Structure 1
Amino acid sequence: MLQKENATKAIFSITPFTLLDYPHKAACILWFTGCNMRCLYCYNPEIVLGKGKISFDEVLSFLTTRKNLLDAVVLSGGECTMHKNLIPFVEQIKALGFDVKVDTNGSHPEVLQQLMHKELIDYVALDFKASESKYKQVTQSDLFSAFEKSLHLLLQNKVPFEVRTTFHSDLIDEPELRSMIRYLESKQYSGNYYIQHFVNEVKTLGDLPRSSREIEKNAFTTRTIQVNFRG
């Protein structure tokens, strides 16, 4: 059965080396196809809408050649937790000795729970797309409650994680960002909150104008949350 699962082509591409995507570790990135959101600012439309090109077996063969050269594997996308064979695949990655980071929109808390219960992941980056009132506008989905469940799971677990938001000035203004920070505080989240600037001049799922960076001039850090702008 595992042989059949591993033949499934769920990966769009592999970034063979990065020092930026997993804190303090040399890693590669596996870009999973498909996503259950359609965020207007998404700059990976070919991954979200495209088909997989690389099988799990091919990934494992690649990773075998990277033992003792890489520390970790980042599962990104798209949305990696959508894939039904993810857990046995991650078990095989862990068996090779790699740490595993998951980039997720939080839409499958049950998968996160299984991964944490089996001690298969070492770090999580959770995308906080928008407040509940603006979530559908930004993501074209009704998945805020799933995101909230994922946040609660991470807060109750020992797996290190970060919360991050992609910022586009037409979608998130200062009051919205402050509302999102208050929401995190209300959930007793503390630590770093990363704001990733939208990359202008790239192809995206939505037809968006240029995004302004004026918001960086304002102070958002609170007593418990350190707001950091990226990009």
Structure 2
Amino acid sequence: MGGRMLRVGGYTPFSTGEFPGLLSAVVFVQGCPWRCGYCHNPHLQPRDSGAIAWPEILARLAHRAGMLDAVVFCGGEPTIDPALGDAIEQVRALGFKVGLETACIYPDRLRQVLPLLDWVGFDVKTVFDDYPSVTGVSGSGQPVRASVAAIVASGVDYECRTTVHPRLLQPAVLLELAQTLAAMGVEHYVLQEFRATGCDSATLRAGARAGYPGPDLLAQIAPLFRRFSVRRPGVGAR
């Protein structure tokens, strides 16, 4: 173990939905280089000294060993933190399974921690060449492509998901993205309908459309994947 400390921006002591099928605690890591318009955790984008000391989180988790099954690291972007691997090993030493939620920004760091993980939830926002239109960062799609390939090859259980908004992902683009992911070997895919609640972008809130994507487009996408579902606000997966 090194002397580095994870920069924690928030902590949820109990969740029934973050790690599929398990009771988990959730650790929110500070920092993200992207500025996606629909981000629901913009307060976690800056990297500062951390809102909660990592040793304090470890102490809380130690007291809950045997009552919880897992710990999930999310953000922000957890792989931005060089202390992530140490933190995962410390959590595993307490007897917890470990999950990671990532936007696939840092493929090299992701590869380092993949052998330590039991589950990965990862976002793919659009076709790789169009990523700057969502993230505001040039070339941001290429690390995502490399990260997706690494996750699929790792054998770690995962969920790949895309937030769908008609302004950002028109039907032809969404279908192209689904076909690309299927060709890369992705088997578990979830579409998440855009939620206006908590979104700072007035443009995206105004352009949202309930029920997008519709049944015809879903009928083209669903057969591409072994496991496919859609999450609607207030409804969940179906």
Q: Given the two structures, how large is their TM-score scaled by the length of structure 2?
A: 0.88
Between 176-185 and 107-116, report the one with greater CA deviation.
107-116
List per-residue Cα deviations over 1:122-153 (Å, max 9, x = no partner): 10111101102321101112221111111111
SS of the counterpart of 1:106? coil
Please say if residues 38 and 205 of structure 1, whose CA atoms lie closer than 8 Å, have aligned partners that are also in contact: no
Counterparts of 1:12 and 1:205, CA distance in 2? 22
Q: 1:209 to 1:203 in 2, by over 3 A?
A: closer
Query: Partners in 1 of 2:69 and 2:108 — Cα distance?
Result: 27
Alpha-carbon distance in 2 for matches of 1:226, 1:175 = 21
Question: Which amino acid counterpart does residue 99 of structure 1 have in structure 2?
Answer: K
Does the 8 Å CA contact 2:179/2:224 hold for their aligned counterparts? no
TM-score, length basis structure 1: 0.90
Q: Is residue 111 of structure 1 aligned with residue 112 of structure 2? A: no
- Find the counterpart in structure 2 of residue 74 from structure 1: 72
Any residues of structure 2 matched to 1:77-226 within 5 Å, and which? 77-116=75-114, 119-141=115-137, 142-190=139-187, 192-204=188-200, 207-210=203-206, 211-212=208-209, 213-218=211-216, 219=219, 220-226=221-227
What is the rounded CA distance, in whole Å, between the counterparts of 2:201 and 2:34 in structure 1?
11
Separation in 2, partners of 1:172, 1:19: 30
> Helix, strand or coil for the counterpart of 1:5?
coil
Counterpart of 1:13 in 2: which secondary structure? Answer: strand
Cα RMSD over matched residues?
1.8
Tell me: CA distance 1:208–1:96, structure 2 relative to 1, closer, same or farther (3 Å): same
The offset of 1:206, in angstroms, is 7.0
Distance 1:30 1:165 in 2: 22
Cα distance, 1:29 vs. partner?
0.8
* SS of equivalent residue, structure 1 residue 90: helix
Paired position in structure 1 for 2:235? none
Deviation at 1:204, TM superposition (A): 2.8
Q: Contact conserved, 2:100 with 2:119, CA < 8 A, in 1?
A: yes
- The equivalent residue for 1:5 is 4
Identical aligned residues as a percent = 28
CA apart distance, 1:225: 4.5
CA contact (8 A) 1:167 1:198 kept: yes
Equivalent of 1:45 in 42, 46, 71: 42
Paired residues, what number? 225
Deviation at 1:58, TM superposition (A): 1.1
Gaps of 5+ in 1: none
Cα deviation for residue 162 of structure 1 reads 1.4
* Distance (Å, rounded) in 1 between the aligned partners of 2:122 and 2:204: 24
The 1-side partners of 2:141 and 2:202 are apart by: 20
Among candidates 17, 23, 26, match of residue 26 of structure 1: 23
Deviations 1:163-188 (A, max 9, x none): 11111221111111101111012212
Following TM superposition, where does structure 1 have runs of at least 4 consecutive aligned residues deviating by more than 3 angstroms?
223-227
1:185-219 C-alpha deviation (Å, 9 max, x unpaired): 221222x2111122113243675234112313332
Q: Distance in 1 between matches of 2:32 and 2:79?
A: 9
1:111 Cα deviation after fit: 1.4
Greater relative contact order (Cα < 8 A, sep 6+): 1
